[in-house]
Amino acid sequence: MSKVAIVQFKASTNKNQNLKKILNYIDKASNKGAELCAFPEFMMFYSPSSQTSSKLASLAETINGNFVTTIVKSAKKNSIQIVGTFYEKSRKKNRVYDTSFIINKSGKVVSTYRKIHLYDALGFRESNKMVPGSKIVKPCKTSVGRIGMLICYDLRFPEMSRILASSGSEILVVPSAWVKGEMKEEHWITINKTRAIENGCYVIAPDQVGNIYCGRSLVVDPMGKILLDMKKHQGIGFVNISINKVKKTRSVMPLLKNRRTDVYSNFRI
């Protein structure tokens, strides 16, 4: 069994204030014996609709900037693995990447992923401020299991989760900032459960709460059981997970093995 910490909080528009909160959460997670601490999307700061793309781009950093570097030092000090996110500078003028990262216990960034599905739906256009990533990142081996990385809106595209699962992911970690709205919480819960069930894996989905976001950070087990639902609470939650549960589930319900890729590949419209 491995103890995992999930952080749900309301990010302010001030990244230095948020960074202080983040470091405090890392300390708490470590003190409670967590091996990994997962944070939501946009943990760096909240970008309101009124913020211009040029302003957002000016506040973005590289992976070697102060924001990630400070978290790296905390991970090393606390000997804990971190999954987090930041606005990453891009080469395109006035556009940023929405990027997640995994830091190991030694304080090394071992994986980064740039969100490939931008939220251009339901009246939002993330592409007005962001540029999409161009690749799905291979699962990353950690002490709690092999992690496949998605970000928020990526959840709505089952192809991505399936590719990650069939490539060896035992856990899907999905930092999110799920916008409130009609049926949105129902979609959020249903999709997280579905991605876990259809792939026989854990889904760890830390979410933003407050501002325009709905909260409800979740951890779902490979059979679709919700192990943690943080509702609207700001703070840190803890869950024990076991990769043996993934192996047993995939043994009795071998969905990945039972796929008929030979037939799928022959389909023509």
Q: What are phi and psi of 179, to 5 degrees?
A: -70, 140
For 2-264, which CATH superfamily applies?
Carbon-nitrogen hydrolase (3.60.110.10)
Angle, alpha carbons 79-100-28 (nearest 5°): 35
What is the residue extent of each domain of the chain? 2-264
Pair type for strands 145-149 and 218-220: unpaired
Residue-wise pLDDT for 39-97, tens only, equals 999 999 999 999 999 999 999 999 999 999 999 999 999 999 999 999 999 999 999 99
What is the structure's pLDDT at 112? 98
What is the predicted pLDDT for the residue at 267?
Answer: 86
pTM of model > 0.75: yes
Write out the chain's pLDDT in tens, 269 residues. 999 999 999 999 999 999 999 999 999 999 999 999 999 999 999 999 999 999 999 999 999 999 999 999 999 999 999 999 999 999 999 999 999 999 999 999 999 999 999 999 999 999 999 999 999 999 999 999 999 999 999 999 999 999 999 999 999 999 999 999 999 999 999 999 999 999 999 999 999 999 999 999 999 999 999 999 999 999 999 999 999 999 999 999 999 999 999 999 888 88
Q: Identify the H or E element spanning 236.
A: strand 235-241
